[in-house]
Amino acid sequence: MPPPVVLGYYRFTDIFFEWHKALPEIEDVSPLKAMIAYDALVHPEHPLRKHRTDGIELFVGTFDTGEARLLFSSAQVEYIRYWLHAVGLTKKLIPIPSSEYMIKLSDLRSCSPAVYSNAAAFKKAFKQLDKANKRLKGSQPRLTARRLGFERIRAFWGEKSGTWLAIDFEAWEMDHSMITEFGWSLLRWEDGKEVRDRGHLIIQERRQYYNHNYIQGNRDRYNFGDSENVDKRTFRERIHKLMTDHLTKGPLYLVFHDPSQDVKYLHSKDIDAPLSGLSFVLPETTPKEGLYVVDTAEMFAGLEGESGGNTRGLERMARLLGSYVENEHNAGNDAHYTLEALESMASGDPIDAQREKRWPERLSATQPKVVFKPTDEDSDLTDGDDVNAIDVRPTDDPYMQLDDDDDANLWGKF
C-alpha cells in the first residue's frame, strides 16, 4: 500500500525565506525565489492563481494562542516544485520542505483563505499580522476565543454551503414570555448562486400588547416588505417549517445578535422549535450537516478587540461597520440587520486586515482594542461631548455574568 498523503500548511515565512536555503543544487535557487517573489505571486499568469480569483489565494491560520500566520497549503508547495520541473526551470524535482515544518489542520483553531491582488497589499497584510500578534501577547482567553470564532465563521462562509438564518423575536416588555413577533432573514447558495428570503410575522391574538415604556416598539414598521398577521398556531408552524426545510439542505447556522433570550423563545412552549443537536460550539472544519449558533455580538467583539464582558448593541455595531439600523425592535428589521452585519464581517478580509481597512485611525500600537471616539458611534454627538460610548448588555445576560479572568468558551456559553 502506498503511504497516505498528508495535507497541511507551511508558514509563508518558512517557504519565502528558508526553503531555497535547503536546496541541494545551487542552480535551483533562483527559479524558486523568482516564483514565490511578491510581484510574481500576484501576477495574473502565476500558476497558483485560481480561476476567477482576483489575486493569489493563501491562507490565514490561527493557533490556540490566538496568534495568526500567513500560510501556503501543502498542495500549493507541491505544485510549485512540479511546475518548476515541468517547464524546465529545474532539472529534477526540488525536495519539499521537511515534514517538521508542516502544520496540520488539527494544529489550528481556524484556517481561512485570504486573497491578495497586488504586491503592496500582500506586504501590508504580512506586516499587519505581525503587529497584531505582538498586540495580542498576553491577551485574555475571552478575546482569543472571539478571534478564533471570527475566523472560523469566515472560513465556513467562504465555503458557500448551508443556510445562514438570522432570526429575532420581540415580546411584550411587561411579560417577556408573551411573544408578539418573529422576523427572519436568510442566505444560502444553490449552484454557487445566492438565494435569499426574509419576512416578519405578528401574532394576531397579541396585537394589544405593545412596547413603549422601556423600548420603542416598531411592530408596524417593517422596512423590507409586508408584515403578516397570523394566529398563534400558524406562527409556530411557520417557524417549524422554516427550520426543518433548511435543515435538510446542509448545515443550518442560526444567527443572532446575542442569542440568550431568542434561544429561550425557541425552546418555549409557544414555539418548541426543532432544536435537536443545537450546538453553541462551531466545529473545527466546515460541517456537512447540523444546527449551530452564530452570535454577531461576539463576532464584533472579536473584531474590535474587546476582551471583557461588554458587547455592542445592534444599532451601534451597525454604525461602526458603516451601516445603520432603522426602526429597531421590529423583529423583521432586526433579523435583516443582524444578517447584514454578519455578511459584512464574514465575507471580508481576515480579522486584522478588516480592522486596518475599517478603522485605520483608531488602532492602538500596543493594545488589541480599537479606540473609538464617541462621535464614531453616535451621529448626534460632537467631539466635545463627554459620554461613555460603550453600551453594556443587561445584567441578566449570561456573558455579563462572567468575570474577565474566567477561562470560558464564549461560543458555547448559554
Question: What is the overall mean pLDDT for the chain?
Answer: 85
Give me the DSSP letters along 45-57. Answer: T-TTPPTT-SSEE
Examine the pLDDT at 138 and tell me if it is beyond 80.
Answer: no
Amino acid at 24: P
18 burial via Cβ count (<10 Å: 0-12, 13-18, 19+):
middle
At residue 189, the 3 state secondary structure works out as strand
Report the alpha-carbon distance of residue 102 to residue 336 in Å, rounded.
Answer: 42
Residue 394, pLDDT > 90, answer: no
Give span(s): CATH 3.30.420.10, the chain: 163-401
Q: How far is CA 274 from CA 43, 236, 237, 255, in A?
A: 50, 11, 11, 16
Residue 381: which pLDDT band, with cuts at 50, 70 and 90? Answer: low
Mean pLDDT computed over 57-66: 81
Q: How far is residue 56's CA from residue 44's CA, in Å, rounded to a whole number?
A: 9
| Model pLDDT, residue 232 | 96
Q: What is the pLDDT of residues 78-127, one digit of tens each?
A: 999 999 999 999 999 999 988 888 998 878 877 778 888 888 878 877 77
pLDDT at 201 over 50: yes
Q: Which of 151-155, 183-187, 406-410 has the highest mean pLDDT?
A: 183-187
Tell me the one-letter amino acid at 49. R
**How many beta carbons lie within 10 A of that of residue 23, not counting itself?**
16
Provide the grid cell at 364: 492602538
Each residue of 263-293: pLDDT tens digit?
999 999 999 999 888 888 888 788 999 999 9
Higher pLDDT, 410 or 75: 75
Residues 346, 349: Cα–Cα separation, whole Å? 8
Least confident of 145-159, 239-253, 324-338: 145-159
Model pTM? Answer: 0.69
Name the 3-class secondary structure at 257. Answer: coil
> For residue 220, how many other CB atoms are within 10 A of its CB?
12
**Cα-only R_g, the chain:** 24
> Tens of pLDDT along 205-241?
999 888 777 788 899 999 999 999 999 999 999 999 9
CATH of domain 163-401: 3.30.420.10
Average confidence (pLDDT) over 348-353: 90
pLDDT score recorded for residue 379:
57
| Furthest CA-CA distance within the chain | 83
- Percent of the chain scored above 70 by pLDDT? 88
pLDDT score of 321 more than 90: yes
Q: Running DSSP on this structure, what letter comes out for residue 108?
A: -
DSSP SS3 for 202: strand
Give the pLDDT mean for 376-386. Answer: 56
Cell of 350: 481576515
* pLDDT tens sequence across 295-305: 999 999 999 99
Instruction: Report the share of the chain in percent with pLDDT over 90.
Output: 56
* pLDDT at 151 > cutoff 60: yes
pLDDT for the residue numbered 234 = 97
Q: Does 327 have pLDDT greater than 60?
A: yes
| Residue 46 confidence (pLDDT) above 90 | yes
Helix (H, G, I), strand (E, B) or coil at 282: coil
Q: Is the pLDDT of residue 51 over 70?
A: yes
> In the predicted model, what is the mean pLDDT of residues 158-168?
95
Burial class of residue 27 (count of CB atoms within 10 Å of its CB; 0-12, 13-18, 19+): exposed
Which amino acid would we find at residue 177? S
Give strand pairing partners of 294: 255
**All 3 cell numbers of residue 38?**
511578491
For residue 244, what pLDDT is reported? 95
Amino acid at 113: P
What average pLDDT does range 7-23 have in this prediction? 92
Q: Can you name the residues that pair with 172 across neighbouring β-strands? A: 175
Average pLDDT over residues 369-377: 86
Residue pair 112/60 in contact by the 8 Å Cβ criterion: yes
Q: What is the mean pLDDT of residues 167-191?
A: 94
Predicted confidence at residue 382, as pLDDT, reads 46
Euclidean distance between CA atoms 60 and 232, whole angstroms: 47
Torsion of CA 69, 75, 77, 78, to 10 degrees: 160
Asked if 198 and 336 count as a contact pair (C-beta separation under 8 A), the reply is: yes
- String of DSSP letters for 301-345: HHHHT--SS----HHHHHHHTT---SSTT-HHHHHHHHHHHHHHH
